[in-house]
């Protein structure tokens, strides 16, 4: 079954300063790998690009998971792949798996680093979208960190994105009033009409986000689920209720900053409102992944949870798909189909 | 039993901008009050002055509890008083009580707004120090918000103050490594020698607080109990461990600021470390006050918990005692004995 295609890899060519560009990456021809006992040979099918990866490219320990991208080393991200050769007892040829893989067309991998993907229930690409890190981040961020309760007002930034679009729907399922913030009329229409958000705010069309938020949240804000970072939090803090929870999930607005941005210190408001700001990474809840995936699959089958994947075709387009995360108009989960 | 002394009140004379001064306050002669059914006539004995009161003096809703100081209205604070006349079924003449009272030598008060103080166990002044708001803030801040665990490293700012000096001791009782930050060598000596703090840091004598903190916390920081506010938090954030809790109790460094101070946004670190910053006010835990007081009384009797009260004599010195909180060299709980 071994493919005769040439193999390719995309490596980090230079540490970007500010926004990553096409020069940040380099595509190289490499040999097809051999596999050893306990390994499988994988053909990449769907490769996820995530805003948080930008942090791994910086100098210094600017990563969440201990992972870092080094110059001349492959970029890695969550990937769905097919087993095309196996010396593993765990996986057979034809199996679909998912894991943190290198940006390679073909690669060998130990079977202990891979999860089996059930091809029967949802499309296999969902293993890196709604049933992958973005979906799980929405789920655990709201359930465990935000601890959302029925009747509360939940504000979600980046509401049309991979994480935000799941978060707004889970908050609706839980009986919350949901306000979504996004950056285009098309996105606002999507989250209001398709995802059932009570009120969408296009932050690029507002003179004062705090005023628009106040109108959209007549009972104040109980939970803020932030995928964006920066000044939005300041506006939210001016409107929070007693015991509000600010869930910091992502920081797409600041990943490219060369210096940490400054803002008004929130501590006074946190005392006054007995409120908290809390960050998390989805892997904190690794032991509960299966339960969460099951619940989200049920919601999906029950028609309560939708998802949109934004597919770009072609291995060589991985760099531009990544860069597009920060500039693009994409709705839902951005990924590359090989 | 009605006293023949003249009565006096201290009112807010003007809204201070920046630091409060003697002109912020005015002492006035007033009549002795009459009491009605259900009320008692009180003689103030020990009046607490607290940094947080500064916030209540600002224009706008700058207070934690809905309370505000208005021009020409009396200042109020936690006070221990003696009942000198009673039309209450709850309290008899001679009883000691504590409550949020006006800065008056004598005042009438409904018995539903007062708590009885047991004069047998600890000195009655402790009702507004170690068994009052400062002690309870230390207790609940560490137990409920900080959730300190044996073996963790706990950093306390304002460590020689009314709240901090209790917090460092409770953290020691719970088996933590405790680092205290304070602003004079005398204070550092006090917290190290008298209160058993593992390492004291005089922030006024350091070139780089982050470096001194790193030395004092070789295993990183798990809990920060902040009474001071401002830049200290930035240094702490650079040293926190996974799942660290930053407990925001007080903000003495910034209460007098005319504009909210700015600082580097903490969200990126909070994600990276799955950490949180959380504020609270002690009244969030009102239902558990008695249990906490009992525990602290037991620690005191068992010799595990010490306290220091810094008494200034004379009703007319209340304003200067308050102002002294922000400039002074006082150790422990500042109060005025009438």
Mean pLDDT in residue range A301-310: 91
Contact call for A276 and B276, based on CB within 8 A: yes
* Same domain? B11 vs B122: yes
Task: Return the pLDDT at B109.
Answer: 97
Residue A290 lies in a domain: no
Concatenated DSSP letters of B26-93: EEEEEPPPP--TTEEEEEEEEEE--TTHHHHTSSSS--SSS----BTSBPEEEEEEEEEEE--SS--T
* Same domain? A137 vs A275: yes
Task: Return the pLDDT at B2.
Answer: 47
Residue B239 has pLDDT above 90, yes or no: yes
- Alpha-carbon distance of A115 to A107, in angstroms, equals 16
* Same domain? A277 vs A316: no
Q: Which of A21-25, A54-58, A239-243, B111-115 has the lowest mean pLDDT?
A: A54-58
- Alpha-carbon distance of B109 to B38, in angstroms, equals 9
Residue A64 contacts B where some CB pair is shorter than 8 Å: yes
ipTM of the complex: 0.89
- Chain B residue numbers with beta carbons less than 8 Å from the beta carbon of A53 are none
More confident residue, B129 or A55: B129
Residue B68 lies in a domain: yes
Element holding B225 (H helix, E strand)? strand B221-226
A92-113: pLDDT as tens digits: 999 999 999 999 999 999 999 9
Q: Which of A242-256, B49-63, B158-172 has the lowest mean pLDDT?
A: B49-63
* Same domain? A118 vs A201: no
Residue A296 has pLDDT above 80, yes or no: yes
* Same domain? A17 vs A114: yes
* Same domain? B266 vs B143: yes
Residue B65 contacts A where some CB pair is shorter than 8 Å: no
* Same domain? B69 vs B141: no
Task: Return the pLDDT at A252.
Answer: 76
Structure tokens at B68: 């505000």
Task: Return the pLDDT at A221.
Answer: 98
Residue A48 has pLDDT above 80, yes or no: yes
* Same domain? A108 vs A32: yes
Task: Return the pLDDT at A4.
Answer: 56
Residue A233 contacts B where some CB pair is shorter than 8 Å: yes
Contact call for A64 and B263, based on CB within 8 A: no
pLDDT band at A292 (very low <50, low <70, confident <90, very high): very high
Range of the domain at A158: 133-283
Task: Return the pLDDT at A54.
Answer: 86
Q: Share the mean pLDDT of chain B.
A: 92
Segments in B163-242 forming alpha helices (H)? 164-173, 185-189, 209-216, 232-237
Residue B289 lies in a domain: no
Residue A65 contacts B where some CB pair is shorter than 8 Å: no
pLDDT band at A61 (very low <50, low <70, confident <90, very high): very low
Residue A172 lies in a domain: yes
Residue A13 lies in a domain: yes
Task: Kindly report the three-state secondary structure assignment for every residue of chain A.
Answer: CCCCCCEEEEEECCCCCCCCCHHHEEEEEECCCCCCCCEEEEEEEEEECCCCHHHHCCCCCCCCCCCCCCECCECEEEEEEEEEEECCCCCCCCCEEEEEEECECEEEEEHHHCEECCCCCCCHHHHHCCCCHHHHHHHHHHHHHCCCCCCCEEEEECCCECCHHHHHHHHHHCCCEEEEEECCHHHHHHHHHHCCCCEEEEHHHCCCHHHHHHHHCCCCEEEEEECCCCCHHHHHHCCEEEEEEEEECCCCCCCCCCCCCEEECCHHHHHHCCCEEEECCHHHHHHHHHHHHHHHHHHHHCCCCCCCEEEEECHHHHHHHHHHHHHCCCCEEEEEEC
Residue A113 lies in a domain: yes
Q: Share the mean pLDDT of chain A.
A: 92
Provide the number of CB pairs (under 8 Å) joining chain A to chain B.
Answer: 113
As a whole-number percent, the residues of chain B with pLDDT over 70 amount to 95
- Alpha-carbon distance of B181 to B201, in angstroms, equals 5
B152-175: pLDDT as tens digits: 999 999 999 999 999 999 999 999
Mean pLDDT in residue range B178-198: 96
Query: A218 burial class (0-12, 13-18, 19+ CB within 10 angstroms)?
Result: exposed
Residue A234 lies in a domain: yes
Q: What CATH number is given to the structural domain containing B69?
A: 3.90.180.10
Contact call for B248 and A233, based on CB within 8 A: no
* Same domain? B153 vs B262: yes
* Same domain? B13 vs B154: no
- Chain A residue numbers with beta carbons less than 8 Å from the beta carbon of B60 are none
Mean pLDDT in residue range A131-135: 93
* Same domain? B73 vs B114: yes
Calculate how close chain A gets to B265, using CA atoms only, in Å.
5
Calculate how close chain A gets to B72, using CA atoms only, in Å.
25
pLDDT band at A1 (very low <50, low <70, confident <90, very high): very low
What residue of A is the nearest CA neighbor of B55?
A268
Q: What CATH number is given to the structural domain containing B232?
A: 3.40.50.720
Contact call for B278 and A280, based on CB within 8 A: no
Residue A2 has pLDDT above 70, yes or no: no
Task: Return the pLDDT at B64.
Answer: 53
Which of A 273-302 lie inside 8 A of B, CB atoms? 273-281, 284
Residue B164 lies in a domain: yes
Structure tokens at B201: 């840091």
Task: Return the pLDDT at B61.
Answer: 45
Residue B260 has pLDDT above 80, yes or no: no
- Chain A residue numbers with beta carbons less than 8 Å from the beta carbon of B268 are 55, 229, 251, 254, 260
Mean pLDDT in residue range B192-221: 96
* Same domain? A141 vs A243: yes
B8-48: pLDDT as tens digits: 999 999 999 888 999 999 999 999 999 999 999 999 999 99
Count up the domains in chain A and report the number.
2
Calculate how close chain A gets to B3, using CA atoms only, in Å.
40
């Amino acid at each position: 079954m071994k493919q005769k295609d040439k193999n390719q890899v995309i490596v980090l060519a230079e540490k970007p300063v500010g926004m990553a560009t096409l020069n940040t990456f380099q595509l190289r021809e490499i040999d097809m790998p051999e596999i050893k006992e306990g390994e499988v040979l994988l053909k990449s099918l769907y490769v996820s690009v995530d805003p948080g990866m930008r942090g791994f490219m910086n100098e210094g320990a600017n990563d969440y998971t201990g992972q870092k991208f080094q110059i001349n080393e492959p970029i890695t991200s969550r990937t769905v792949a097919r087993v095309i050769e196996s010396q593993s007892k765990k996986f057979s040829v034809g199996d679909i798996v998912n894991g943190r893989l290198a940006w390679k067309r073909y690669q060998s991998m130990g079977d202990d680093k891979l999860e089996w993907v059930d091809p029967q229930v949802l499309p296999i690409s969902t293993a890196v979208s709604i049933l992958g890190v973005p979906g799980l981040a929405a789920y655990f961020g709201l359930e465990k960190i935000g601890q959302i309760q029925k009747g509360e007002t939940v504000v979600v930034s980046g509401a049309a994105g991979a994480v935000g679009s799941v978060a707004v729907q889970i908050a609706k399922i839980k009986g919350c009033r949901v306000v979504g913030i996004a950056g285009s009329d098309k996105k606002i229409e999507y989250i209001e009409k398709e995802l059932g958000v009570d009120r969408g705010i296009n932050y690029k069309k507002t003179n004062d986000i705090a005023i628009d938020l106040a109108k959209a949240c007549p009972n104040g804000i109980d939970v803020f689920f932030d995928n964006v970072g920066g000044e939005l939090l300041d506006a939210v803090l001016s409107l929070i209720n007693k015991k509000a929870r600010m869930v910091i999930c992502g920081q797409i607005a600041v990943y490219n900053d060369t210096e940490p941005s400054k803002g008004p210190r929130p501590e006074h408001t946190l005392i006054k409102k007995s409120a908290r700001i809390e960050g998390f990474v989805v892997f904190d809840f690794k032991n509960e992944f299966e339960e969460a995936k099951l619940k989200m699959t049920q919601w999906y089958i029950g028609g309560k949870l939708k998802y949109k994947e934004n597919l770009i075709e072609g291995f060589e387009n991985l760099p531009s798909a990544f860069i597009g995360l920060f500039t693009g108009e994409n709705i839902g989960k951005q990924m590359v189909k090989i």
